[in-house]
Amino acid sequence: MAMKRIGVFICHCGRNIAGTVDVKKVAEEIGKREDVALATTYIFMCSEPGQKLIEESVKKYNLDGVVVANCSPTLHEKTMRNAAARGGLNPYRVEIANIREWAAWPHEDNPEAATRKAIRIINATIEKLKANASLEPIEVPVVRRALVIGGGVAGIQAALDLADAGIETILVEREPSIGGNMFRLSETFPTLDCPQCILTPKMNDVAQHPNIKLYTYSEVESVEGFMGNFKVKIRKKATYVDWDKCTGCGECLRVCPINVDSEFDLRMAKRKAIYIANEQAVPLKALIDENTCIRLQFEKKVKEGKIKPKKNVKICSKCADVCEPNAIHFQNNEEIVEEEVGSIIVATGFEVMPAEAFPELGGKYPDVLNSLQFERLLAPSGPTAGIPRRPSDGKVPESIAFVHCVGSRDPQSGVPYCSRICCMYTIKQAMLVKHALPSTAVYDFYIDIRSNGKGYEEFYHRAKEEYGVNFIRGKVSKIYKVGDKYRVQGVDTLTGRIVEVDVDMVILATAAKGSEGVKDLAKKLRIPYDEWGWLKETHLKLKPLETPVGGVFIAGAAQFVKDITDSVSQGSGAAAKAMALLSKPQLEKEPLLAKVDPEICAGCGRCKDQCAYGAISIDPVRHVAVVNEALCEGCGACSANCPTTAIQVVNFKKGQIIRAVDVLAEVF
Amino acid sequence: MSEEKFDPVIVGFFCNWCTSAAADLAGTARLHYPPNIRPIRVMCSSTVDPVYLIRALQEGADATILGGCHPGDCHYITGNYKARRRVAIVKTVLKSLGFDDTRVLLEWISGSEGPKFARVMNEYTSYIKERGPCDFKYIDSLGGD
Ligand SMILES: Cc1cc2nc3c(=O)[nH]c(=O)nc-3n(C[C@H](O)[C@H](O)[C@H](O)COP(=O)(O)OP(=O)(O)OC[C@H]3O[C@@H](n4cnc5c(N)ncnc54)[C@H](O)[C@@H]3O)c2cc1C
Ligand code: SF4
Ligand code: SF4
Ligand code: FES
């Protein structure tokens, strides 16, 4: 029944509201309404005494509804609902009329109009409130398991923290090994630690942890459900090798006759058609690349009818022949597994643009590499054992040029933002070149050095002073081949002079972007992302790990490119967020959801087509729509499409909105 | 009614997650726009039944604005596409009945676009001021009621 004893509390907000809106007059006007039992003002409604005023008035006047006219509901709706609830009123019988952001502030130049508008907003809110029902939050059970997507350092940290807290955790990595980009690095700024030495123990912990289920070479196929209750399908890609049997001995790799570029080494080395991701891979297992394996290609063509197999022709099975545990079966063992989890952490990391994307900077030449490729050449465990060599001829370079900001801060040919880590890793790489090849000349072209981390500026000065790296403040405009060398042409912006150096190798610090394919994943998860593939947080300052989808968190470079320190911190942070969620036996959900009146529902299903969450089904027996409360998000798309008004969002019923609209539309 | 004196009534339906937040931001930044805009917060632009828009025009509004998240950004995934379709239908209906279809405006204003919110409110109010009162009321004055 419509409310008859409504309390209206008008906030002065110091002078924020009362400085413009004549709050006395508002109270007077609103007090004239028959359904209003009390209309009063107070200097700060959100203060302790302000809340007390609501609580006590509810009791004293036996209020059946409350409107608080103050600031945006995003700020104090909860506060006010709780205050009324302490007085014994159902919290869903409280509404906020936003007269600060929506009246006092934008119309501070016109107090009279602001006052009239405040009155109107309050009247409209009362009309909407009057038919609000008393509601109880809906309780949904929580599956006490977590999923981490991406096994880079951020995902590894998140998985370990969760598992240590006793939460069963599933880690999905699309590459054959976990480790991510950090595992490709040579040494790490600013400490010059060996990344493999510090990461391998963590990777092994992941593999051995009793609470972690690791799926490598796997991808998330689909995600259904909601906070506390996600159902995830994971596609384990075909390896053609039985990993339960494979011991990682590597005998097979020796005999395979096929050589192709190694993904892990970013084309700086070759691998076989049967391969192990890298020497320290976790898990250390072999898999066959179906696109290059002679046998699998042959079988595929036979299957497609492109060739007819001749009798007695032996097709390559060299790897299987030498595999002692008989692990290689050549069978397509792709599989979809289903997991239920309560929370999801996305830690899919980043990638750097390929050198080829910058032809004017010589990206097409074999000795012009991007920074991550060069990490492989500097890595002691890499293809050149840490002594950089030119890919074209294997020559040790006598001179190297580094170019910062390639594609970064450059909306024309790349991205508008600063990729944040390039200055530091370029300085590091320059230093490591000097370590490995003291007589090699190193030129470092930068626009400005951004060394804003703990120990970073000191690191930069070491490179300059101890290692004798030539830092040139300048923009490189062109790189081209001159004989055996590459000519780097640019302007020294400090002296204004044209600079030209001829070098043996060039390293481009190319812009970072979100991982390839991340947008598809984000769509499956329904989380936002930007045009460069960075996942979008709920609030950059205050909710950097949250997404608008409850229970889904982001961590590491997936949010935006960052260094290892920050990636690990975010991994732990996201794990803590997930733990807080999973530590509750039940979750409370706002009950402002769609409800069907079966008496008038025609069973036409027009609502069902509108629901983006698949929350509506048509009961085949009663032939009426049924809403699954666990899935419904309360958007109201269904109700706007229902020809009979049978389906409505509770406390946003059409009658309520129309009454409010009538007040708003009224001519002065 | 002379053009100068005409003070239009514009009802604004703003989705909770984007345009309401933009309106908050515009207020916080003390960006001024005409008080002619009379706002109501709805959860999503897709909640807005075409009936709400027509009703507002019938009851005295000279125009209506529906504000939602940018395409692809709706908090409820695809609500704004549904709203876009509905608004298109309302406009077609208005037009085919001989009414002015610019009395219904659909705008995407994200939660960070406080300045855009103020700009749209300013521009639309000026536009409606120029345009004059809504012809729905003209029918009223003919005894249409
Ligand atoms: C050239 C270079 C040098 C660097 N040097 C340093 C340094 O010296 N010091 C330092 O602190 N930082 C350095 N960094 C930065 C460092 O690499 C990052 O901070 C770190 O790798 C970020 O970790 P992450 O786990 O967030 O992302 P990543 O390392 O990118 O890991 C993401 C993981 O997710 C996986 N993945 C992606 N998409 C999917 C999907 N859809 N499904 C499943 N799995 C997926 C990827 O395969 C990968 O394993 C350097 C970076 C570069 C490019
Ligand atoms: S649209 Fe309305 S009438 Fe049709 S099935 Fe849904 S609730 Fe029932
Ligand atoms: S309110 Fe939205 S989420 Fe809920 S049933 Fe209707 S369309 Fe689906
Ligand atoms: S929530 Fe803004 S348009 Fe749907």
Question: What's this model's pTM, rounded to 2 decimal places?
Answer: 0.79
Assess whether pLDDT exceeds 50 at residue B139: yes
CATH class of A6-135: alpha beta
Assess whether pLDDT exceeds 60 at residue B141: no
Q: State pLDDT tens for residues B26-45.
A: 999 999 999 999 999 999 99
Note the pLDDT of residue B137: 64
Assess whether pLDDT exceeds 50 at residue B145: no
Note the pLDDT of residue B140: 55
Cβ of B61 and A73 within 8 Å? Answer: no
pLDDT band of B1, cuts 50, 70, 90 = very low
Q: Are strands A368-370 and A552-554 parallel, antiparallel or unpaired?
A: unpaired
Q: How many domains does chain B have?
A: 1
Assess whether pLDDT exceeds 90 at residue B106: yes
In a domain, B44, yes or no: yes
Cβ of B28 and A641 within 8 Å? Answer: no
Assess whether pLDDT exceeds 80 at residue A650: yes
A340, amino acid identity: E
Tell me the residue length of chain A: 668
Q: State pLDDT tens for residues B58-84.
A: 999 999 999 999 997 888 889 999 999
A417 in reach of chain B (CB within 8 A): no
Give the fold, CATH level 3, of A145-237+340-348+524-582: FAD/NAD(P)-binding domain (3.50.50)
Tokens of A664: 């708003």
Tell me the residue length of chain B: 145
B17 lines ligand 4 (CB under 6 A): yes
Nearest-Cα residue of chain B relative to residue A115: B35
Please state the ipTM of this predicted complex.
0.95
CB A201 within 8 A of CB A188: no
In a domain, B145, yes or no: no
CA torsion angle A389 A392 A398 A404 (round to 10): -80
Q: Which residues of B touch A115 (CB under 8 A)?
A: none
Q: State pLDDT tens for residues A218-240.
A: 999 999 888 999 999 999 999 99
B48 in reach of chain A (CB within 8 A): yes
CATH class of A350-513: alpha beta
Q: Which residues of B touch A528 (CB under 8 A)?
A: 73
Q: State pLDDT tens for residues A47-69.
A: 999 999 999 999 999 999 999 99
Atom of ligand 3 nearest to the CA of A628: 5
Q: State pLDDT tens for residues A638-648.
A: 999 999 999 99
In a domain, B35, yes or no: yes
Q: Which domain holds residue B121?
A: 10-131
| Calpha distance A583→A163 (Å, rounded) | 13
Q: State pLDDT tens for residues A489-516.
A: 999 998 999 999 999 999 999 999 999 9
CB A356 within 8 A of CB A364: yes
Q: How far is CA A16 from CA A11, A20, A112, A399, B24, in A?
A: 9, 7, 15, 65, 14
A199 lines ligand 1 (CB under 6 A): no
In a domain, B1, yes or no: no
Can you tell me which residue has the tokens 């409107």?
A67
A247 in reach of chain B (CB within 8 A): no
Mean pLDDT of A155-183: 98
Q: State pLDDT tens for residues A427-443.
A: 999 999 999 999 999 99
Note the pLDDT of residue B134: 87
Task: Encode A65-77: b = buried (16+ Cβ within 10 Å), e = exposed.
Answer: bbbbbbbbbebbb
| Calpha distance A55→A83 (Å, rounded) | 5
A633 in reach of chain B (CB within 8 A): yes
In a domain, B26, yes or no: yes
Task: Encode A311-320: b = buried (16+ Cβ within 10 Å), e = exposed.
Answer: eeeeebebbb
Q: State pLDDT tens for residues A116-143.
A: 999 999 999 999 999 999 999 999 899 9
Note the pLDDT of residue A287: 98
In a domain, B137, yes or no: no
| Calpha distance A233→A156 (Å, rounded) | 21
Q: Which residues of A touch B38 (CB under 8 A)?
A: 117, 120-121, 124, 664-665
Q: Which ligand ends up closest to the CA of A627?
A: 3
What residue ranges do the domains of chain A occupy? 6-135, 145-237+340-348+524-582, 251-333, 350-513, 590-650
CATH number of A590-650: 3.30.70.20
CATH number at residue B97: 3.40.50
Q: Which ligand ends up closest to the CA of A644?
A: 2
Note the pLDDT of residue B2: 45
Q: 3-class secondary structure for A263-302?
A: CCCCCCCEEECEECCCCCCCCCCCEECCCCCHHHHHHHHH
Assess whether pLDDT exceeds 60 at residue B4: no
Q: Are strands A6-11 and A65-70 parallel, antiparallel or unpaired?
A: parallel
CB count within 10 Å of CB A624 equals: 17
Q: Which residues of B touch A121 (CB under 8 A)?
A: 38-39
Note the pLDDT of residue B144: 47
Mean pLDDT of A556-567: 98
Note the pLDDT of residue B138: 55
pLDDT band of A615, cuts 50, 70, 90 = very high
Is it true that A6-135 and A145-237+340-348+524-582 share their CATH fold?
A: no
Mean pLDDT of A524-529: 88
Mean pLDDT, all residues of chain A: 96
Nearest-Cα residue of chain A relative to residue B16: A74
Tokens of A525: 């998860």
